[in-house]
Amino acid sequence: MTEKPRIPKILRWMVPLVISGLAIWLVLREIELSLFVEHLARMRWQTLLLASGVYFISYALRAFCWFILLRRKVSYKDAFFTMGVGYLLNNIFPFRMGEIGRAVMLDETNRTTPLEVFSSVIVERIFDVFLATIFILSVLPRILSEGYDQRVILAAFIMAVVGLIVLILLAKFREHVVNVLHRWGERSDFIDNWVSPKVMHALEGFSVLTDPKAFLLAFGSLALSWGLAFGKNFLIFNNLQPNPPFWWMIFVLSAGAFGAALPSAPAGLGVYEGVVVASFALLGVGTELAFTHAIVTHAMVFVYANLIGLVGLRLRGEALVAFIERVLKRPPKVHAVE
């Protein structure tokens, strides 16, 4: 009987690996290795250095967005490096383990709760979907004919808008929600002791949405981060193919954001490359050129995000292996509601 639970667990780990493996096979079977190496050799170190600087500014703005969503309950330095730790874990494990890592690390500061961290990450993801949808809808008419079917993207846009509105309403009327939970809790120990504390902490994390200034500051910094990410990709692709249209980067990166939602191996290995190659194919770009761009941009994000995460662990006096064990074996505690 002890063996039965292992099968679903194994399948749960195998599915993203299979998806990534399939994506890698589909891409590599079309690649002419010599042409890929030729494109890769054209990359100039000056371009990589400039793109690296743009990456760090973009990352800093994204970290600032999360810092605001956390209601400044932790320092910007903590938000900056904790986000890097989260990316580091996402690059090691599938299933977004990095979000749990963020909660575990900030839980130890005693200034925020795990559910507040999770709710802030949810808001950040909704902002991302909202922005990606706007960007991709703005460039689709350039790619497809007038009769193109954009219902999938519109559905994602509507879901993001609805999700954002629901979160705003829950945050605005959180006292009413808490009162309802208290009344239900009088009749159910489960609601009083388990559901109510978690919901209240989550609603506290959504409270930033009721503050127009904080909302605009967080959303604006994330939008600027996206803009710089487009610029970084443009610098790299311009080195491979001079004078490409800038809107190409908007389309490719926005499509990549939707591709990132697919289950995959750690760091989105294979899936990211597959989405980038497929997106560039719609623009008439050759497979080898698109794959070179995907490898360079993916490697840059992978290396720098991991470095920031490792520095963050070092500053906390944490060992990577020991921290991973704590994330996997000891979920962060949920503080009692005062």
Residue 137's pLDDT is what? 79
Residue 30 has φ and ψ, to the nearest 5°, of -100, 0
One-letter amino acid of 167: L
Express each pLDDT in 8-43 by its tens digit. Answer: 556 555 666 666 667 667 676 777 888 888 988 999
Dist CA 146 CA 178 (whole Å): 49
Q: Give the C-alpha separation, 284 to 245, whole Å.
A: 12
Give per-residue pLDDT as tens, 49-77.
999 999 999 999 999 999 999 989 899 99
For 280-313, the pLDDT digits (tens) are: 988 989 889 999 999 999 999 999 999 999 999 9
CA-to-CA distance for 309 and 319, rounded, in angstroms?
11
**The pLDDT of residue 150:** 61
CA–CA dist 337, 86 (Å, integer): 26
Model's pTM, two decimal places? 0.82
